Chains A and B, each alone.
Chain A
Amino acid sequence: MSEWLESAITRAQGINDWLAPKRAHALDLLAKTKWPTRKTEAWRYTPLRPVERTPAKVIRDKVDLSPVVIADLSAIEVVFVNGQFDQAQLAKTLPAGLSIALGADLNAAQQADALTAFSTIKPERHIFGLINDALAQDVVVVSVAEGVEITQPVRISSLLSLGAESHTRVQVVLAAGSKLTVIEDIQAQGDSLNTAFVEYNIAANARLEHYRFALQTGSNVAVGGSHFNLHDHAKMNSTIVGFGSELSRLDTDIIHAGEFADAKLNAMYLLDGKELFDLHATVEHAMPNGKTEENVRCIVADRSRAVFNGRIHIHRDAQKTLAELNNRNLLLSDKAEINTKPELEIYADDVKCAHGATVAQIDKQALYYLQTRGVSRSKAQVMLNFGFINELIDLMPNAALAEWIRPIIRERFAQMEVK
């Protein structure tokens, strides 16, 4: 077991709050879990050295940080600074039907519900999820009442100052027929460590539009997850944008717990330098007539390393499932590395399921075509790389977010090119 984990466990043992039974359970499981090594399949390509030697520490002093401004986006802000929920940054009045509160501040009945629901969607196999269960100091609960459509997006920001450690946790509950957009954003200033986990329970006929921006770079360690539970006719559309860092790992789980649920997941990550980004995306089709469409695209430059594990598990009762997984990767350097592993496990006999994974270099014909029009080779490469990702950005339902992220990605490609 690592020294860091030992200290985390000691800290967790000192917490005594409304989540005590769940925290104790997580600590029990952690005690039985072996610290992952290269021989642990789920961490094979993602060494945990940066966590083992991290000097990041819990900063209790109040630090003033606020989320980046996104033009034309008027969001309801849920802000964590170094792991602490900053109540002052939350609007005093919320749209009718939407409630956002610290779990500790809920009334007894609400708190009992939140306690029951806590950590039921996120699978127990995620070791950092268990650490988050035990350590997340401020747990925020976001809920939308039955049939209510909230037009203003809710943005959950995890902000970290230099050298900070943070464990943030949010439970999002969409009641039947409701509609909500949630943006998860992590902004870290360096040498930090964070685990950011969000669980979504999407009731019958409810619709979730979801974004997760993991744009930490450099010496930040980010290990987190977004986990979704879909009931009958529920729909979700998720977009993930990631830059790598010393260690970036994201686990997503989508569970089709009801029939006729519909999940879309578009993920893109762009890595440079010695960065690493690892996406483990699991889809569980537990019930019939579900639909999943997953597109994952990755560009690796320089000596960076990308890991993608895309598992689709179709249970025996999940007849008439439609599932598609497409993973395309672009290598910009001989020294960059891509480890991709689509895994389909199908136990139902009447399903349509397709997957594909490709690793390619830049399209030489397209490069030549652009050059014959006078565009320089380096500029043409940037355009083509951008084009590869832009196809997924074009699919983002929120135009303000698409317009915000486009120049950021373009800028990153321009930097990649200099080397």
Chain B
Amino acid sequence: MSNTNSLLTIKDLHASVEEKQIIKGLDLDIKPGEVHAIMGPNGAGKSTLGYVLSGRDGYSVESGSVTLDGEDLLEMETEERARAGLFLAFQYPVEIPGVSNLEFLKASVDAQREARGEEAISSADFLKEAKAACKQVNLPVAFLKRGVNEGFSGGEKKRNELMQMLLLKPKLCILDETDSGLDIDALQVVAEGVNSQRSADRSFIVVTHYQRLLDYIKPDFVHVLSDGKIVKSGDASLALELEAQGYSWLQKEPSEDELEG
């Protein structure tokens, strides 16, 4: 695979958490506008990939390289990665009582505007945008005044993640198990929101354990992650195959010592 025109290029990535190796030689190349699904059994390293790419403390890269738009992603702080266009939608969004959702969203948008050399958006303009985004993800406007994710249901938290994505307009979105804990109606709302954001200059990594989400968000490519490596890649039909057969046929040796999925 070539670097030219790629949005994200991961080469031979090895990464560990608390001295335990989770990612063991991962390669991935994503071009603008593409949607890549990463599937795999629990403990394969799916969530770890998102944390490593976003630069979470405690997740260390031992070798390999990652570039976003040709820039060395691994050299950047977490917030610089976000300003460079990386967005991680959390599987379990964090509750922050006392910080209003509106304040949080505006601080995020302003930080990214500042990085682009733009001025902070006026409160009135931002409120208009935020209200429109609320409407689009089907969250009552009152949620802007509440503490970040405070007391939100699982579905509301995922819609709040989606709202952040709408407002931040990232180049690369990593959706970490966005389907977990959602009923079918909530799943559809989130999927529609994601689909509305698909465009020629925005790419997605959809991390999921189940094929169900991919009925709604159609991937261009499907990769199977097992024991820290991509063991198989294909088109959308691979997901259906996995649904029918499970993951066991891909795992030569079961990973007994993995931390998380």
Contact = CB atoms under 8 A, between A and B. Distances in A.
Interface of A: 363-366, 368-377, 379-380, 383-384, 386-391, 394
Interface centre among A374, A375, A379, A388, by most chain B C-beta atoms within 10 angstroms, is: A374
A386 B111 contact: no
B68 to A, nearest CB: 14
Contacts of A375: 79, 107-108, 111
Given A364-B57, A368-B78, A373 B96 contact: no
Interface string B148-179: 00000000000000001000100000000000
Given A383-B99, A391-B98, A368 B111 contact: no
Interface of B: 54-57, 77-79, 81-83, 87-88, 90, 93-94, 96-99, 103-104, 107-108, 111-112, 115, 147, 164, 168
A366 B96 contact: yes
Contacts of B78: 368, 371-372
Given A379-B107, A383-B107, A387-B147, A372 B82 contact: yes
B17 to A, nearest CB: 14
Contacts of A394: 98
Given A383-B104, A383-B107, A377 B82 contact: no
A383 B107 CA distance: 9
B98 A369 contact: no
Given A364-B57, A368-B78, A374 B99 contact: no
Contacts of A384: 96, 99
Nearest to B81: A372
Contacts of A371: 55, 77-79, 82
A372 B108 CA distance: 9
A370 B147 CA distance: 13
Contact of B111 (A363, A364, A379, A391): A379
A368 B56 contact: yes
Interface centre among A373, A386, A389, by most chain B C-beta atoms within 10 angstroms, is: A373
B57 A368 contact: yes
Given A386-B98, A387-B98, 4 more contacts: A366-B94, A373-B168, A383-B99, A387-B147
Contact of B83 (A369, A374, A390, A391): A374
A370 B56 contact: no
A369 B90 contact: yes
8 contacts: A368-B78, A368-B94, A369-B90, A369-B93, A370-B104, A371-B77, A372-B88, A386-B99
Nearest to B80: A374
A328 to B, nearest CB: 11
A372 B50 CA distance: 11
A373 B82 contact: yes
A364 B57 CA distance: 9
A42 to B, nearest CB: 32
B35 to A, nearest CB: 20
A369 B96 contact: yes
Nearest to A382: B107
Nearest to B83: A374
A390 B56 CA distance: 27
A383 B103 contact: yes
A387 B99 contact: yes
Contacts of B55: 371
B24 to A, nearest CB: 24
Given A377-B77, A379-B111, A383-B104, A372 B96 contact: no
Contacts of B147: 387, 391
Given A373-B168, A374-B79, A377-B79, A388 B98 contact: yes
Given A369-B93, A379-B107, A390 B57 contact: no
